[in-house]
Structure 1
């Protein structure tokens, strides 16, 4: 009889360990999926930036093309988001030809004296009482500027550029990201 009790106890212990391991495995899968989503988004932003930089290099002419082994300029983050190519991300095109065509289209759209997406987004967020998502900002800019093609990816890149320049703040609520203007520092007192 004691062997039956021992066998049941061991079986129960193993069943609990398997359940715990299964739970830990599922938690780890979710963590890896989240990280993978973040890395995919980052890769899309980097590819768009590369396409714009390649186009700028072509326009400047004579600049030597750099490969990944030679290293990239640290100024890549300083490219204004209003000139970033977003049509290649939405059409799925990749490579230099698709990037050049999209960058040319994007550059010509920004020539007729308009504000950058960062300027437009910052101005919009400045008039809001609470943080807004990139989709909400895109929707508002689309309504305010019907003459311009507004894409969420381009606006999100502009918002991230604003965060990098400390013009905007990013906050998260669950998996959602919201943006708002940085509060103005308090005026120095004369005391």
Structure 2
């Protein structure tokens, strides 16, 4: 009888120990599953930020391309260079220098000036015909009192300018570029992203006015 009692006690002890181990194992699995889910959410957030940063990098890298028309005045300014060379040649001496000066002078003057004038005229007409998408987005944000999403801004600009194809992806990329330049502010509400105009550039523009005066 004593052996049977000791056997039952051992069985009950092992059973209690195994039950406790199973409970601890289940709790540990729940804890690890929660940590894995949190890490997956963090990874997804990092991946979203990575795509946003790539779009900002592309927008910033594409910015210098739009500034290429500003190089036209430099090319136009480079036209008078031959004239200076001609003056030095004239002061140098001789009939040969004079004959050389008179021949190329009208060719360079006639070919150089119209090209610069045409290029500057095209650049000026392109600027006056319609504003850029960056200007449109800045103006729209400055008129809004509440944050606006990229889709809302694209829809509003598309209605206001039906002759232009305004895409939400392009608007979002432009907005991220403005945020990177501190010309706009970004805020999140849940999973949605909203944008507002930034007041920092306006203060920066107001400060040099009295200094210059």
| TM value normalised by structure 2 | 0.54
Q: Per the alignment, in what secondary structure is the counterpart of residue 11 of structure 1? A: helix
For residue 132 of structure 2, the aligned residue among 116, 137, 159 is 116
Q: Which runs of 5 or more structure 1 residues have no equivalent in the other structure?
A: 61-109
Q: 2: CA distance between counterparts of 1:2 and 1:180?
A: 67
Partner of 2:40: 29
Q: 2: CA distance between counterparts of 1:161 and 1:54?
A: 14
Say if 2:21 is the partner of 1:10. Answer: yes
Q: 2: CA distance between counterparts of 1:179 and 1:139?
A: 15
Q: CA RMSD in A?
A: 3.1
Q: Deviations over 1:95-127 (max 9, x none)?
A: xxxxxxxxxxxxxxx946321212111111122
Say if 2:195 is the partner of 1:179. Answer: yes
Q: 2: CA distance between counterparts of 1:159 and 1:38?
A: 15
Partner of 2:94: none
Q: 1: CA distance between counterparts of 2:176 and 2:67?
A: 21
**What is the CA distance between 1:26 and its match in structure 2?**
1.7
Q: 1: CA distance between counterparts of 2:45 and 2:177?
A: 22
Paired residues, what number?
136
> Aligned runs of 1:65-144 on 2, under 5 Å?
111=126, 113=128, 114-144=130-160
Q: 2: CA distance between counterparts of 1:165 and 1:46?
A: 12
Q: 2: CA distance between counterparts of 1:55 and 1:118?
A: 11
Please say if residues 118 and 161 of structure 1, whose CA atoms lie closer than 8 Å, have aligned partners that are also in contact: no
Say if 2:166 is the partner of 1:167. Answer: no
CA distance 1:155–1:55, change in 2 (3 Å): closer
For residue 158 of structure 1, the aligned residue among 174, 191, 197 is 174
Q: 2: CA distance between counterparts of 1:41 and 1:167?
A: 17
Please say if residues 59 and 173 of structure 2, whose CA atoms lie closer than 8 Å, have aligned partners that are also in contact: no
Partner of 2:30: 19
Partner of 2:53: 42
Q: Which has the higher helix share?
A: 2
| TM value normalised by structure 1 | 0.59
